[in-house]
Amino acid sequence: MTGNHAQLRQLGLSTGKKARLHRILYQHGLGNGKAMFLPYDQGLEHGPRDFFANPAAADPKYIIRLAVEGGFNGIAVQIGLAEKFYWDYAGQVPLIVKLNGKTEIPSDDYALSPFNATVEDAVRLGADAVGYTLYIGSPAQHEDFTQFMTVRRDAERLGMPLIVWAYPRGTAIEAKGGKDSFYSVHYAARIASELGADVVKVNFPKPDKRTAVPAPYDGEFTNQQAIDAVIQAAGRSLVLVSGGEKAGDEKMLEKATESMRAGAMGLIFGRNVWQRDHDASLRLVGQLREILAQHHSD
Single out the catalytic residue among 40, 62, 135, 167.
167
Beta-bridge mates of residue 131: 98, 163
CB 102 within 8 A of CB 41: no
Closest separation between CB of residue 242 and a copy of itself, Å? Answer: 19
- Please say which residue, 152 or 209, places its beta carbon nearer to a copy of itself: 152
What are the residue ranges of helices labelled H in 159-222? 171-175, 182-195
Of the pair 19, 87, the CB lying nearest a copy of itself is at 87
Q: Considering beta carbons, is residue 52 or 294 the nearer one to a copy of itself?
A: 52
Measured distance CA(238)–CA(174) in Å, rounded: 27
DSSP output for 254-265: HHHHHHHHTT-S
In terms of Cβ atoms closer than 10 Å to its own Cβ (0-12, 13-18, 19+), residue 196 is middle
What is the distance between the alpha carbons of residues 253 and 248, in angstroms, rounded to a whole number?
9
Beta carbon nearer to a copy of itself, 59 or 69: 59
Q: What is the DSSP letter of 291?
A: H
Min CB(59)–a copy of itself separation in Å: 7
Q: How far is the CB of 109 from a copy of itself (least distance, A)?
A: 10
Return the bridge partners of 53, or none.
none
Active site residue 201: yes
Between 58 and 158, name the residue whose CB sits nearer to a copy of itself.
Answer: 58
Among the options 34, 201, 209, 255, which is catalytic? 201
In the bound complex, what is the minimum distance in angstroms from residue 153's beta carbon to a copy of itself? 7
> Phi/psi at 202 (nearest 5 deg)?
-125, 160
Residue 283 CB, nearest approach to a copy of itself (Å): 26
Span between the terminal Cα atoms of the chain, in Å: 12
Q: Please report the DSSP string for 210-245 in residue order.
A: -TTPPTTTTS---HHHHHHHHHHHTTTSEEEEE--S
Tell me the three state secondary structure of residue 39: strand
Whether 183 is catalytic is no
User: Active-site positions?
Assistant: 167, 201
